[in-house]
């Protein structure tokens, strides 16, 4: 590779984008499921109520974390996609600007 030359494995970048998009989708789905689930409905009495509250609070926190992580993953995927588009556009512009013999 010469000075100033840059190589990008476009396939690997696209795979990484797809991974982060998939992670964001799965995180969102799990967060929604957790938020809508009733925990320890089988428990009775004060012990059951305490367990329900604790499990519900844990699920709420997990749901929030999953939504945050999913949003962050979507941001990373978007940034990678925009960066790859810029690289591809610049490469095309350079190729078109070369004079052909």
Q: pTM of the prediction?
A: 0.77
Q: In this structure, what token pair is assigned to residue 92?
A: 């095309």
The mean pLDDT value of the chain amounts to: 90
Model confidence over 17-48: pLDDT tens digits? 999 999 999 999 999 999 888 877 777 788 88
Domain boundaries, the chain: 11-92
Q: Please state, in angstroms and rounded to a whole number, the distance separating the CA atoms of residues 29 and 70.
A: 10
Question: Given this model, what pLDDT does residue 35 score?
Answer: 87
Q: Which residue has the higher pLDDT, 2 or 72?
A: 72
Q: Is the pLDDT of residue 1 over 70?
A: no
Q: Please state, in angstroms and rounded to a whole number, the distance separating the CA atoms of residues 45 and 52.
A: 11
């Amino acid at each position: 590779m010469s000075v100033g030359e840059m190589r990008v494995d476009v396939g690997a970048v696209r795979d990484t984008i797809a991974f982060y998009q998939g992670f964001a989708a799965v995180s969102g789905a799990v967060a929604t499921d957790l938020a809508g689930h009733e925990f320890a409905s089988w428990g009775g009495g004060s012990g059951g109520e305490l367990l329900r509250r604790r499990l519900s609070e844990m699920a709420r926190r997990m749901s929030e974390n999953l939504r945050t992580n999913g949003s962050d993953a979507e941001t990373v995927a978007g940034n990678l996609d925009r960066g790859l588009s810029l690289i591809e556009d610049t490469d095309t512009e350079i190729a078109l600007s070369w004079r052909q013999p």
